[in-house]
Amino acid sequence: LHAAATMGRLRTAVHNFSALDLPPEELIALLDELVGRIDQDETEDEGSAPVTGATCLYAVYDPVSRRCTVARAGHPPPALIHPDGTVEYPDVPAGPPLGLGGLPFETAQLELAEGSRLVLYTDGLVEDRERDIDVGLEMLREALGRAGQSPEDTCRVVLDSQLTARSSDDIALIVARTRALAPGQVAEWPVPADPAAVGEVRAAVSRQLTEWGLDELTFSTELILSELVTNALRYGGGPIRVRMLRDRNLICEVFDSSSTSPRLRYATMTDEGGRGLFLVAQLAERWGTRYLPAGKVIWAEQPLP
């Protein structure tokens, strides 16, 4: 019961940390620190088992660049099934299990072809008392090589294989198939360092939304991007660019070279400014900041009509 409650706490923490758009290695570092604090807080409870030693693998996939950034803390490596059916275990640096503290976590950048399948699993699938983990990994590779193209078929083949026949540990298995956004689903414009460029962005956005058949979103999208571009011109640094992604929803992004994140304010009736991000938050379903190696991107997401 304690282990299940602890996993629930860690799962909630991962969800909360992921909302911050942190790089995988930073998110796992925060989780590592949290596990250490949990163990410290519960040392007086003799009936509580330590959390230190829990493992985690965290991955972020970008459907535009087709890059997947992966970091892991003591977790088994992911398996990658290429579109042609070949299976490999990408080289992802193996960080220490959570809670040990003091050691950095590293990431691996994987460029995945569209239709690849990333297979994540717990050690109970490939390791037990009577079988070395290397043997289990090879058995998993063979099972994945026989799997069909869909994630459902992949899970079915693995769970029906000899891997699970004598496992005494819990097993979790996730199969994610990648897809990429077509060039026609992405629109991008550079923004000159001139306040007059805001009007040019609005006009370009209006034309693009008409081309996509999303005229209903023109007003809200123009307003969102006007506020974000204005903030970038005032407080950010060049080069500035705007990108729109049309997928299951509409995502607007503004890139600049500053690492300072804007802060949502609640302006009073007498304030002359400070309402820009409040308007963005009201018009968008979600919005946030994602940091890049050089600068940041502010994004806002709207549902499609």
Per-residue pLDDT tens digits for 132-177:
888 889 999 999 999 888 999 999 999 888 766 666 677 889 999 9
Distance of CA 184 to the CA centre of its chain: 23
Does the pLDDT value for residue 22 go beyond 60?
A: yes
Q: Catalogue all structural domains in the chain, each as residue range(s) with its CATH number.
A: 2-177 (3.60.40.10), 183-303 (3.30.565.10)
Distances, alpha carbon 89 to alpha carbons 44, 86, 137, in Å: 41, 11, 9
Does the pLDDT value for residue 213 go beyond 90?
A: yes
In whole angstroms, what is the distance from residue 281 CA to residue 260 CA? 18
Residues 224, 300 contacting (CB under 8 angstroms)? yes
pLDDT confidence of residue 286: 92
> Could you tell me which residue, 178 or 167, shows the higher pLDDT?
178
pLDDT confidence of residue 50: 67
pTM: 0.85
In whole angstroms, what is the distance from residue 224 CA to residue 276 CA? 8
Residues 68, 108 contacting (CB under 8 angstroms)? no
Per-residue confidence band for 54, with pLDDT thresholds at 50, 70 and 90: confident
Chain mean pLDDT for the chain: 88
Q: What is the mean pLDDT of residues 189-213?
A: 93
DSSP 216: G
Q: What is the mean pLDDT of residues 83-111?
A: 91
Q: Please name the amino acid found at residue 296.
A: K
Distances, alpha carbon 159 to alpha carbons 79, 121, 162, 171, in Å: 15, 11, 8, 9
Tokens of 67: 């890059």
Does the pLDDT value for residue 20 go beyond 90?
A: no
pLDDT confidence of residue 42: 65
Q: What's the pLDDT tens digit per position in 240-282? A: 999 999 999 999 999 999 887 776 666 555 555 556 788 898 9
Flag the least confident range among 8-12, 76-80, 189-193: 8-12
